[in-house]
């Protein structure tokens, strides 16, 4: 049994993120029914310390005709019974969808409420569009960014600027995606108004992405070998960014090892280990050591599969690396530091 946080605000945030999860999963199931084999997402539960300190449920996409990988994760962890912790609770939805069709872009969204025991708290909002085929992405970029701009209003410029900083990959001189939004530490002082704002952002991002996904699947029913190779190269870049730069992923892995598969839910099904190996020489020390260790954890196959046991091995590599080189945490993505409290998966 999962024991929820006691805070009234945490309870409301939990209702909000679970509502967004249910809404998004229903949309993904509808896409699978329309374009794939109609296989619905599967629920997987997990408990923090057996549920004593919270836990969550993630829905994993199962329709391989439509999705390469997909996960819609909701979690709530809390420390109501631990007087030594300043953190009260952290409640989040974190989702990543990687379509099978290379013409359809991936999408990541994270919305969370973090609350201290003194009652203070804040929202975090992240949303980004990640196409495999950059040459086809301009209209999707404009559409996704316009939706974010419309729904976030005066907060758009701040979030877009921080998103661009956070998802930039210095050694490759490019971003992970084409449209990025990251609003950190948001609290207007009116919890109910903020909750309504966050809900509207989440629903708008989901609706826009489903629209883009459906349009692409309808427009490009045939996938070529060249398309899949380009997608494989992009999926390699995605894994590289998540495991070497993403503070949220690293923070979640360092806190505990009870949800490694969920936290690593953003990793695509296959990557190109040869491309990943070519980036070792670009990495500053000691991050070159990290990439070499990631390569050892990956199967020696091409294309390189990333199954559940490999995800766990990769998670352990990241954990061991930052415990050995804690100073290397400062070399991760710029922007606000994400406290190690929420089980993020990017």
More confident of the two residues 43 and 340: 43
Q: What's the confidence (pLDDT) of residue 268? A: 97
Instruction: Supply 125's token pair.
Output: 């909002």
Q: What's the confidence (pLDDT) of residue 337? A: 38
Residue 285 DSSP code: T
Look at residue 225 and tell me whether its pLDDT is greater than 90: yes
Q: Which of 172, 313, 141 is nearest to 245 (CA)?
A: 172
Please check whether residue 292 lies inside any domain of the structure.
no
pTM of the model: 0.94
Interhelix angle 8-35/191-219, rounded to 10 degrees, is 10
Rounded to an integer, the average pLDDT of 179-191 is 97
Of 163-177, 191-205, 260-274, 295-309, where does mean pLDDT reach its minimum?
260-274
Please check whether residue 247 lies inside any domain of the structure.
no
Q: What's the confidence (pLDDT) of residue 263? A: 87
Q: Which of 144, 118, 119, 148 is nearest to 131 (CA)?
A: 144
How far apart CA 222 and CA 320 sit, in angstroms, is: 42
User: What does 46-59 look like in DSSP terms, one character per residue?
Assistant: EEGGGGTTEEEEEE
How far apart CA 169 and CA 246 sit, in angstroms, is: 10
Q: Quote the mean pLDDT of the chain.
A: 94
> How many domains would you assign to the chain?
1
Tell the residue number behind the tokens 């349009």, with chain if given.
Answer: 215
Q: What's the confidence (pLDDT) of residue 341? A: 38
Which domain covers residue 56, as residue numbers? 8-223
Q: What's the confidence (pLDDT) of residue 334? A: 61
Look at residue 152 and tell me whether its pLDDT is greater than 90: yes
In tens, the pLDDT along 9-55 reads: 999 999 999 999 999 999 999 999 999 999 999 999 999 888 999 99
Q: Long-range contacts of range 292-298, CB-CB < 8 Å, 24 or more positions apart?
A: 293/317, 293/320, 293/321, 294/243, 298/271, 298/273
Tell the residue number behind the tokens 């919270």, with chain if given.
Answer: 54
Q: Which of 122, 91, 65 is nearest to 6 (CA)?
A: 91
Element housing 90 (H / E): strand 87-99
Percent of the chain residues topping a pLDDT of 90: 88
Please check whether residue 268 lies inside any domain of the structure.
no
For β-strands 87-99 and 106-116, DSSP reports them as antiparallel
- Sorting pLDDT into bands at 50, 70 and 90, what band is 257? confident
Please check whether residue 163 lies inside any domain of the structure.
yes
Residue 118 DSSP code: T
Look at residue 340 and tell me whether its pLDDT is greater than 60: no
Look at residue 181 and tell me whether its pLDDT is greater than 80: yes
Please check whether residue 142 lies inside any domain of the structure.
yes
More confident of the two residues 293 and 341: 293
- Sorting pLDDT into bands at 50, 70 and 90, what band is 157? very high
Q: For position 34, which CATH number holds?
A: 3.40.1500.10
Residue 50 backbone class (left: φ over 0; alpha: ψ -120 to 50; beta: rest) = left
Percent of the chain residues topping a pLDDT of 70: 96
- Sorting pLDDT into bands at 50, 70 and 90, what band is 261? confident
Instruction: Supply 115's token pair.
Output: 């609350």
Please check whether residue 19 lies inside any domain of the structure.
yes
Please check whether residue 311 lies inside any domain of the structure.
no
Please check whether residue 324 lies inside any domain of the structure.
no
Neighbours of 211 (CB within 10 A): 15
In tens, the pLDDT along 68-77 reads: 999 999 999 9
Q: What's the confidence (pLDDT) of residue 83? A: 87
Q: Nearest 5°: phi and psi at 175? A: -90, 165
Rounded to an integer, the average pLDDT of 292-297 is 98
In tens, the pLDDT along 76-129 reads: 999 999 889 999 999 999 999 999 999 999 999 999 999 999 999 999 999 999
Q: What's the confidence (pLDDT) of residue 346? A: 38
Contact (Cβ atoms closer than 8 angstroms) between residue 11 and residue 78: no
CA distances from 159 to 63, 75, 297 (A): 33, 23, 35
Q: What are the residues facing 305 on neighbouring strands?
A: 270
């Amino acid at each position: 049994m999962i024991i929820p946080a006691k805070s009234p605000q945490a309870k409301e945030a939990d209702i909000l993120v679970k509502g967004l999860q249910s809404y998004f999963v229903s949309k993904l199931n509808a896409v699978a029914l329309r374009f794939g084999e109609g296989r619905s997402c599967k629920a997987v539960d997990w408990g923090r310390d057996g549920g004593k300190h919270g836990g969550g449920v993630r829905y994993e996409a199962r329709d391989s005709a439509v999705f390469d990988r997909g996960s819609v994760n909701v979690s709530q962890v809390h420390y109501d019974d631990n007087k030594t912790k300043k953190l009260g609770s952290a409640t989040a939805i974190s989702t990543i969808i990687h379509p099978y069709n290379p013409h359809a872009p991936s999408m990541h969204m994270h919305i969370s409420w973090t609350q201290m025991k003194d009652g203070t708290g804040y929202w975090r909002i992240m949303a980004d569009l990640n196409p495999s085929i950059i040459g086809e992405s301009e209209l999707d970029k404009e559409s996704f960014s316009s939706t974010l701009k419309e729904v976030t209003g005066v907060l758009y410029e701040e979030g877009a600027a921080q998103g661009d900083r956070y998802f930039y990959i210095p050694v490759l001189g490019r971003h992970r995606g084409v449209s990025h939004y990251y609003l950190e530490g948001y609290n207007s002082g009116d919890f109910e108004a903020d909750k309504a704002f966050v809900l509207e952002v989440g629903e708008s991002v989901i609706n826009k992405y489903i629209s883009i996904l459906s349009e692409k699947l309808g427009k490009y029913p045939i996938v070529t070998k060249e398309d899949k190779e380009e997608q494989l190269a992009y999926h390699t870049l995605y894994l590289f960014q998540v495991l070497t730069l993403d503070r949220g992923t690293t923070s979640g892995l360092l806190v505990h090892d009870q949800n490694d598969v969920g936290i690593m839910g953003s990793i695509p099904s296959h990557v190109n280990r040869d491309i990943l190996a070519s980036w070792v020489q670009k990495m500053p020390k000691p991050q070159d050591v990290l990439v070499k260790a990631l390569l050892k954890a990956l199967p020696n196959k091409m294309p390189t599969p990333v199954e559940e046991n490999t995800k766990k091995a990769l998670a352990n590599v990241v954990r061991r690396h930052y415990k050995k080189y804690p100073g290397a945490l400062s070399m991760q993505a710029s922007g606000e530091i994400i406290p190690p409290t929420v089980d993020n998966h990017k």
